[in-house]
Amino acid sequence: MTDLSTRKAERCVVVVNSCDAYADIWPLFFAAFKDRWPDCPFPLVVNTESLDAAAPGLRVSSHVIAANEPSPSWGARLLSTLKDQPSEYVLMLFDDFVLEEQVDGKAINQCIEWMDADPTITVFYLSHVPGSARPTSDYRGFEVIPRLTNYRLNSAPAVWRRQHLIELTRADDNPWIWELFGTSRTFFHHGQYFCAQPGHETTYRYNYTTGGAIYRGKWVSQVAGPLIERYGLDIDLRERGVAPAQGSPRTLAEKLRMLVQGFRASGSLALLIIGLLLLSKLRARKEPA
């Protein structure tokens, strides 16, 4: 790369959120990543506990939290990973966001240029965040996410201003509490939030309708199976297990546990989050089929 290209590459790092227990997913993630974004200029850092990640043809390293930490939480690991990066921006992904089409690297560079020009921009989500009518945006293909919006903080592929992401994350977070109840932290945050408009989710394409290649710890066979075959990987879906065709609802105990965690994460604002969720469900029922 030229000096200019090198400087641009150093501005951003791809953070892949994972854990040691999901290391069996890495070969599929990296095979698709190398195929669909072979000229990625950014280094990849896997956020995990102890295992080293490697992928031929990609600049991949692992960020391992202090070995003497017995069971670091997801939030603590993410904060440690983010704080140790020298880059101003991160492209944050999860290990089951397995690419199915070519990445639009120019669009990602454009997001970074827009963020360079306006330091109040916190994030460009590369997927659409559902919600009510949105204000127009000056950024082609993106729309504003209003302040009081469900999942204004979420795990979709996104270009983040690293320091803002640190400000929105707590050490005791887990991924579900972080995006559901942690969203309340964005209500008082000074940044601007944008997401892809419907029909413009073309920058980083994976099967987001299923949530990715994994559902509650098990393979989504219709997503993972064809990709494993495409890349000739020796992965037996039966070892991890296959998710049911119809996603199972959470049990009452799970919902109550999440509610308790939600109040810990956002205090009385948890009531506002619950109210917004109920309102969105009511709106969805009123919409014509």
Cβ count within 10 A of residue 40: 18
Segment 165-197, tens digit of pLDDT? 999 999 999 998 899 889 999 999 999 999 999
Amino acid at 23: A
Segment 59-109, tens digit of pLDDT? 999 998 755 566 688 999 999 999 999 999 999 999 999 999 999 999 999
d(Cα 237, Cα 193) in Å, to the nearest integer? 37
Q: Give percent of the chain above pLDDT 90.
A: 66
Could you state, in order of their start, the residue ranges of all structural domains in the chain?
3-247
pTM, to two decimals: 0.87
**Cα dihedral angle (173, 114, 194, 211), rounded to 10 degrees?**
-60
Separation in Å, CA 261 to CA 74, 173, 179, 267: 14, 9, 12, 10
What confidence category does residue 4 fall into, taking pLDDT thresholds of 50, 70 and 90?
very low
What confidence category does residue 282 fall into, taking pLDDT thresholds of 50, 70 and 90?
low
- Residues paired with residue 93 on neighbouring β-strands, in sequence order: 16
Record the tokens describing residue 255, joined without a space. 């919902």
Q: Does domain 3-247 have CATH number 3.90.550?
A: yes
What pLDDT score does 8 carry?
Answer: 58
What confidence category does residue 211 fall into, taking pLDDT thresholds of 50, 70 and 90?
confident
d(Cα 81, Cα 18) in Å, to the nearest integer? 11
Q: Assess contact for 13 and 74: CB atoms under 8 A.
A: no
Q: In terms of pLDDT, which residue wins out, 134 or 34?
A: 34
Q: Give percent of the chain above pLDDT 70.
A: 84
Give which of 270, 279, 74 is closest to 184, Cα–Cα. 270
What pLDDT score does 269 carry?
Answer: 77
What confidence category does residue 2 fall into, taking pLDDT thresholds of 50, 70 and 90?
very low
Q: In terms of pLDDT, which residue wins out, 7 or 42?
A: 42
What pLDDT score does 247 carry?
Answer: 57
Weakest mean pLDDT among 5-9, 200-204, 252-256: 5-9
d(Cα 111, Cα 133) in Å, to the nearest integer? 23
Q: Assess contact for 5 and 41: CB atoms under 8 A.
A: yes
What would the mean pLDDT of 145-152 be, rounded to a whole number? 91
Q: Is the pLDDT of residue 280 over 90?
A: no
Q: Assess contact for 79 and 17: CB atoms under 8 A.
A: no
d(Cα 262, Cα 161) in Å, to the nearest integer? 25
